[in-house]
Amino acid sequence: MTLHGGIDGRTGSRVSLHVYIDALGRRMIVELRRFCEESRTLDAAFSPTQLPRLLDSVADTAGGVSMQVRGWIDARDRPCLDLRLSGQLWVLCQRCMRPMAVDVEVGQTLAFGDEGADEVLDAESVEVLPLLASVDLADLAEEELLLSLPMLPRHRDCEPPGPATTGVATPFASLKSLLDEAGGSGSTGGQD
Ligand SMILES: [Zn+2]
């Protein structure tokens, strides 16, 4: 693992000793409380190839996402991170099974503290996580990106692939055959 600094987005100065980034940018570990107490900010950019779990969920290695993180301490003395993610990723259209671009816009506040979220203070935009000594910002970004991807992405206007032009079975085709089987046997019970 290589240790070097990132760029402090607020002051433009190098951040040293606070951020551990490996050579491929896959890990971005900060000392959480220190990062927040010093009101640090950090700008970074990711391509899908740097985030293995995200890579499993996209259709193409093209695209990219920029991230801005701001640390602060809330009224309950909890380290908090404002996480902004913005960019474009390619997912598989579930109708024509071709790649399609989706715009990604995430704005999320993460508060790190012991359980017992305060319903008054913790607005819906605040996600409460267990307190940690250090966090991997790349990991947090990946998690939020996975949550932001559409469940059933579809082009606004496209056609399902014709049987003559492709041999790729769609999830719906197999679902239909399952339904046909269930309907044919007249049974609604599970297999186990
Ligand atoms: Zn499509």
The pTM score is 0.70
Give 59 Cα–ligand 1 centroid separation in angstroms: 12
Give 155 Cα–ligand 1 centroid separation in angstroms: 4
**Distance (Å) of CA 73 to CA 36, 113, 153:** 6, 11, 37
Give 160 Cα–ligand 1 centroid separation in angstroms: 7
Give 161 Cα–ligand 1 centroid separation in angstroms: 9
Mean pLDDT of 131-152: 93
Domain boundaries in the chain?
A: 6-161
Give all strands of the β-sheet with 79-92 in edge-to-edge order: 41-46, 63-73, 79-92, 99-112, 126-129
H-state helical runs in the chain: 32-37, 52-57, 137-148, 171-185
Q: Write out pLDDT tens, residues 105-121.
A: 999 999 998 765 555 55
